Amino acid sequence: MPIPIRLSVLLLTAALSATTHAQTTAPAATQPTLLPSLKPDPTPAPNAGEWHKASTTHRQATFPQTTDDGRYWFQLSAPNAKSVQVGIGNRRYAYEKDASGTWNAFIPYQGPGVKYVTVYVDGVPMPEPGTDIFYSNGWKAALESPAPGEDYYATKDVPHGDVREHWFKSTVTGTYRRMFIYTPPGYDDTTIRYPVLYLQHGAGEMEQEWTHSGLANFILDNLLAEKKAVPMIVVMNNGFANRPGEPPAGARGPGGARGPANPSQVTAFEEMLIKDVIPDIDSHFRTLADRDHRAMAGLSMGGGQTFNIGLRHLDTFSYLGMFSAPLGNINTLPEPLNDAAAFNQRVHAFWFSAGTTGSDLTIHNNARAFVDKATQAGIHATFFESPDTQHEWQTWRRSLHAFVPLLFKQ
Q: Output 111 or 129, the one with its CB closest to its own copies.
A: 129
Quick one: 251 or 342, whose CB is closer to its own copies?
A: 251
Other C-beta atoms closer than 10 Å to the C-beta of 316 total 16
Neighbouring C-beta atoms of residue 33, cutoff 10 Å: 11
The torsion defined by the Cα of 109, 205, 317 and 178, in degrees rounded to 10, comes to: -130
CB of 133 to its own copies, least distance (A): 5
Give least dist CB 293 to its own copies, A: 19
Give the nearer residue to its own copies in terms of CB position, either 56 or 366. 56
Reference 163, options 188, 142, 139, 180; nearest CA is 180
Nearer to its own copies by Cβ, of 169 and 228: the residue is 169
To its own copies, the closest distance from the beta carbon of 141 in angstroms equals: 8
Residues that bind its own copies (CB under 8 A): 58-62, 76, 78-81, 121-127, 129-130, 132-133, 135, 137-139, 141, 155, 157, 160, 162-169, 176, 188, 206, 211, 217, 240, 248, 250-252, 254, 258, 284-285
Q: How far is the CB of 21 from its own copies (least distance, A)?
A: 15
> Residue 328 and residue 370: Cα distance in Å, rounded?
9
| Closest distance of CB 410 from its own copies, Å | 28
Say which amino acid occupies 138.
G
**What is the DSSP code (8-state) at residue 162?**
E
SS3 323: strand
Closest CB 320 distance from its own copies, rounded Å: 26
Closest to its own copies by CB, 137 vs 173, is: 137
Please compute, for residue 200, the number of CA atoms within 13 A of its CA located in the half-sphere on the CB side: 33
Alpha carbons within 13 angstroms on the beta-carbon side of residue 311 total 22
- Cβ proximity to its own copies: between 285 and 393 the closer is 285
- The candidate with the shortest Cα–Cα distance to 200, out of 283, 284, 269, 280, is 269
Compute CA distances 177 → 34, 173, 217, whole Å.
Answer: 42, 9, 21
Nearer to its own copies, 2 or 101 (CB): 101
Pick 133 or 230: Cβ nearer its own copies: 133
Output the smallest distance, CB 16 to its own copies, in A.
Answer: 12
CB of 250 to its own copies, least distance (A): 5
359/298 Cα distance (integer angstroms): 17
Angle at 120 between CA 114 and CA 124, to 5 degrees: 120
388 vs 198: CA distance, rounded Å:
27
